[in-house]
């Protein structure tokens, strides 16, 4: 079985993006086999952590927003790495002058770099194709680039350096 992918996003400010699920909403969507499904959620408490681990163990890919460090975060991430391929954190909006990419937009860009089409990425994120195209256009404009690949490359320097386990 292919391991699910988890994209970590740090530093999101303001309200959650509309496609983001609360821990309770994610728990309501849990099923035996969640392979091929992608969800956007936040981790900040023990209840959310348990649901996120459960979803990953069932095969769901996730974009996980960690706005602020929380107690037990490192142990949670270690456990998550046992069941999923966890990316290096993508950091957004840490300085007031930086461009803010919400976790859904980051997830959309990541899915496109994995070789998926915009339509497929939108479906996996539970978005309409039109919304996905609009989000990508807004990200390109905000970042001052003309392609989705350039947008991802501009956003990636904000990522933490890779470390070998």
Q: 39-78: per-residue pLDDT in tens? A: 778 777 667 888 888 888 888 888 787 777 788 888 888 9
Is residue 85 assigned to a domain? yes
Question: Confidence band (pLDDT; 50, 70, 90) for 156?
Answer: low
Is residue 34 assigned to a domain? yes
Signed CA dihedral, 48, 50, 52, 54: sign only: negative
d(CA 120, CA 116): 6
Task: Quote the pLDDT of residue 130.
Answer: 92
Is residue 43 assigned to a domain? yes
The enclosing domain of 85 has a CATH number of: 1.10.10.10
Is residue 42 assigned to a domain? yes
- Nearest residue to 39 (alpha-carbon basis) of 57, 52, 24: 52
Task: Quote the pLDDT of residue 155.
Answer: 66
Q: Which residue range is the domain that position 96 belongs to?
A: 5-158
Task: Quote the pLDDT of residue 1.
Answer: 59
Question: Confidence band (pLDDT; 50, 70, 90) for 147?
Answer: confident
Q: ∠25-125-115 over CA atoms, to 5°?
A: 150
Domains in the chain, number: 1
First and final CA of the chain: distance in angstroms? 22
Is residue 163 assigned to a domain? no
The whole-model pTM stands at 0.57
């Amino acid at each position: 079985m292919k391991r699910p992918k988890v994209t970590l996003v740090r530093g999101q400010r303001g309200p959650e993006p509309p496609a983001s699920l609360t821990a309770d909403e994610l728990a309501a969507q849990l099923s035996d086999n969640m392979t091929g499904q992608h969800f956007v959620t936040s981790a900040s408490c023990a209840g959310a952590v348990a649901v996120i681990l459960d979803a990953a163990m069932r095969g769901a890919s996730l974009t996980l927003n960690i706005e602020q460090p929380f107690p037990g975060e490192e142990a949670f991430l270690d456990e998550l790495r046992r069941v999923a391929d966890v990316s290096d954190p993508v950091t957004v909006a840490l300085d007031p002058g930086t461009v803010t990419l919400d976790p859904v937009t980051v997830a959309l860009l990541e899915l496109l770099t994995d070789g998926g089409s915009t339509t497929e990425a939108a479906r996996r994120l539970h978005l309409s194709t039109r919304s996905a195209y609009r989000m990508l256009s807004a990200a390109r404009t905000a970042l001052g680039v003309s392609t989705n690949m350039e947008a991802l490359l501009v956003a990636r320097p904000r990522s933490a350096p890779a470390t070998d386990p």
